[in-house]
Amino acid sequence: MLLKPAKLTREEFEVMKTHTSIGRDALISAVGDRSKTTEFLRYAIEIAGGHHERWDGLGYPQGLKGETIPLSARLMALADVYDALRCVRIYKPAMSHARAREIILEGRGRQFDPGVIDAFVRCDAVFAEIAASLADPAESAGYAVA
How far lies 142's CA from each of 28, 59, 64, 97, in Å? 41, 34, 40, 19
CA max distance for the chain: 50
pTM of the model: 0.83
Q: What is the pLDDT of residues 100-131, one digit of tens each?
A: 999 999 999 999 999 999 999 999 999 999 99
Q: What is the pLDDT of residues 21-30, one digit of tens each?
A: 999 989 888 8
Cα dihedral sign, 38-43-46-47: negative
104 vs 14, which has greater pLDDT?
104
Specify whether domain 10-136 bears CATH 3.40.50.2300: no
